[in-house]
Amino acid sequence: MAISDEFLAELRARTDIESVISPYVNLSKRGRLVKGLCPFHNEKTPSFTIYTDSQSFFCFGCGAGGDAITFVRRIENLDYVEAVKVLAERAGMKMPEDGYDDSIAKHRQRILAANREAAKFFHSTMMSPQGKIGLDYFLGRGLTMQTIRHFGLGYAPDSWDALLKHMRSKGFTNQELFDANLVRMSTKGEKTHYYDNFKNRAMVPIIDLRGNVIAFGGRVLDDSKPKYINTSDTMVYKKSNGVFALNFAKNGNPSQMIVAEGYMDVIALHQAGFTNAIACLGTALTQEQARLVARYADEVVLSYDSDEAGQKATKRAIEIFSKTGVKIRVLKLTGGKDPDEIIKKFGKEKFRSLIDGAANDIEYSILRERDKYDLDSIDGKTKFLTAIAATLASANPIEQDAYAAKLASEMQISKDAIMLEIKRAYKRKAEADKKLRFNEIVKETVTPKDEINPERAKHIRATKAEETLLSSLMLNPDFYKKIKDELSEDLFITDFNKRVYKALSTRLDEGRSIELSMFCAEFTPEEMGRLAQFEAMGNAISNTVAECNDCIKVLKQEKAKASSVNAAELSDEDFRNLFKKTDDK
């Protein structure tokens, strides 16, 4: 069962969607609308819109939309009931004792509880004689006991079932432990065997912004492979969204984040006083992680390892972070391969000086290109300046002028020649971007993608009529009584729109509210975006009963077309069956 309408109505009345969203998005008012850069996709021009009248939001760029519940679900990766709980607590409301199915939420809470208990087990094991090898590892890396306790570090014993036995004694089931990825499973014949996921490893718990242990990283104590075993994606953890130590770093330097490559670099940086250090989890930085970091920082300082893999990661990070609008600077790690090594060798003041002298993304690219060519030769200079012109083509005019003047002085080449090459590079880039956009438009036109309503492309005329009807009813529920006798869910061609109409008509028949909040339980956050879009269509339709009747006529025509049979296209067997059905009547 869903949470009662009465509870949801009161929650909506006590919740201001703008104040819910503002901690995540920089908002600005434009008349009655509130706009900002969408937190769910990369954009430079605000298309994320809040409608305070209807307490809803919609992004015209990516289609994300819904009410406050939908926003919390998407931004915090929560299920429906958990999102309602978050907003209820915020509004000072107590959740109803019954009346809703919270089995998924309860299972999620059990996984979080299992992770919390496992973290305690790993830490207490490390502090016991059995785990001395783990404690010695962390102490050998230069960590203090205060840092070890602060990050909740631990040790997974050299056993295949130590954690399993402990967790079973605490009342956790094999299925709960498996779903948390704390144990693995193997099947031989009809017998299933469970065993620990982490064995003889130094353990680092991963904690989310609400203080929940959501995953673990386990590092070997020697040179064996694999070096790390990490928690796989679970109900409470997605590594593509994970940022290590953000729970601490968001309270450090509020305008800057140091992005390091691994757990130990981050922990060492925090111990040295750089409490704004983080590491993005997974094998490569993702757009989701970059957007999350950009919520808490105006500037990121990339501090990846100095080896080839680290430099490739730096280049990728520059490309991804540049789409978020944050300022980017890149550390040149001199004297060590990573921050941990530099701090150990030279102290934290040396690392501080590296941060202060960190190059911005353009300067970093210039330095990287400079190392590739022999600048004493004409050919080397030419290739170097051509490569740099491509980089500067994306810079603003002031940066282009300043760097062109600097390079002209260094290379003993006229500034005008460099600016001309930049203009050529800009033209090439503009043409390439135009071609890319054209190809995307053609691709979308020929094979439009609509994951919410995949049938839309095959039934454009019918779908537009369906959408106009749904929008009209959502904005003008009083129309329903005037058109219901002519309209039924069977007239709808596409399954998704049929579902929406069924949900709407059921509520309208029962005299219940049709505000967006009332549909969150039966539609996914992505589907709620489409419902929000229907609401946002108000200015694009006439909002009249006559228009609704016209749409109903279109649907009847399209339904008749879909129902008609072309005998020429039938197989022999289908053709015979057609007459058989006629005879049976």
Is pLDDT of 86 > 70?
yes
What confidence tens digit (pLDDT) does each residue in 47-75 have? 999 998 899 999 998 999 999 999 999 99
CB 117 within 8 A of CB 170: yes
For the segment 454-465, the average pLDDT, to the nearest whole number, is 92
CB 182 within 8 A of CB 163: yes
What is the reported pLDDT for 234?
94
CATH number at residue 75: 3.90.580.10
Alpha carbon distance 574, 562 (integer Å):
17
Cβ neighbours of residue 12 under 8 Å, at least 6 residues apart? 55, 67, 68, 515, 517
Is pLDDT of 493 > 60?
yes
For the segment 300-322, the average pLDDT, to the nearest whole number, is 88
Is pLDDT of 501 > 90?
yes
Please state which of the ranges 121-130, 287-296, 513-522, 550-559 shows the lowest mean pLDDT: 287-296
Alpha carbon distance 488, 504 (integer Å):
11
| Entry pTM | 0.71
pLDDT band at 584 (very low <50, low <70, confident <90, very high): very low
- Considering the domain boundaries, does residue 585 fall inside one? no
Please state which of the ranges 392-396, 423-427, 490-494 shows the lowest mean pLDDT: 392-396
What is the reported pLDDT for 232?
94
For residues 83 and 123, membership in a common domain is answered with no
CATH number at residue 149: 3.90.980.10
What is the reported pLDDT for 496?
96
Tell me the residue range of the domain where 356 lies.
243-360
What is the reported pLDDT for 582?
41
Beta strands in 305-377 (DSSP E): 327-330, 359-360
Is pLDDT of 479 > 70?
yes
What is the reported pLDDT for 509?
94
For the segment 349-368, the average pLDDT, to the nearest whole number, is 86
Is pLDDT of 448 > 80?
no
Give the domain-ending residue among 51, 66, 91. 91
Which of 285, 291, 226 is closest to 259 using CA atoms?
285
What is the reported pLDDT for 441?
59
For the segment 426-434, the average pLDDT, to the nearest whole number, is 84
For residues 406 and 435, membership in a common domain is answered with yes
CATH number at residue 480: 1.10.860
What is the reported pLDDT for 273?
94
Looking at mean pLDDT, say which of 136-150, 239-253, 281-295, 443-457 comes out highest.
136-150
What is the reported pLDDT for 373?
86
pLDDT band at 440 (very low <50, low <70, confident <90, very high): low
Is pLDDT of 201 > 80?
yes
CA distances in angstroms from 507 to 84, 469, 513, 514, 524, listed in the order given: 21, 16, 7, 7, 18
What is the reported pLDDT for 98?
62
Alpha carbon distance 255, 102 (integer Å):
39
For residues 403 and 463, membership in a common domain is answered with no
- Considering the domain boundaries, does residue 576 fall inside one? no
For residues 293 and 186, membership in a common domain is answered with no
Most distant CA atoms of the chain, gap in Å: 94
Question: Which H/E stretch holds residue 423?
Answer: helix 415-446
Give the domain-ending residue among 202, 230, 258. 230
Pairing of strands 299-303, 277-280: unpaired
**What sections of 254-307 are H helices per DSSP?**
263-271, 287-296
At 486, give phi and psi (nearest 5°). Answer: -95, -10
Q: Over pLDDT 90: what percentage of the chain?
A: 54
- The tally of domains found in the chain comes to 5
For residues 179 and 251, membership in a common domain is answered with no
Collapsed DSSP state (helix, strand, coil) of residue 46: coil
CB 355 within 8 A of CB 277: no
Which of 362, 253, 340, 238 is closest to 297 using CA atoms?
253
What is the reported pLDDT for 445?
52
For the segment 450-465, the average pLDDT, to the nearest whole number, is 92
Q: Is pLDDT larger for residue 571 or for residue 284?
A: 284
CB atoms < 10 A from the CB of 192, how many? 11
For the segment 283-301, the average pLDDT, to the nearest whole number, is 88
Mean residue pLDDT of the chain comes to: 88
Is pLDDT of 101 > 80?
no
Give the domain-ending residue among 302, 335, 360. 360
CATH number at residue 271: 3.40.1360.10
pLDDT band at 585 (very low <50, low <70, confident <90, very high): very low
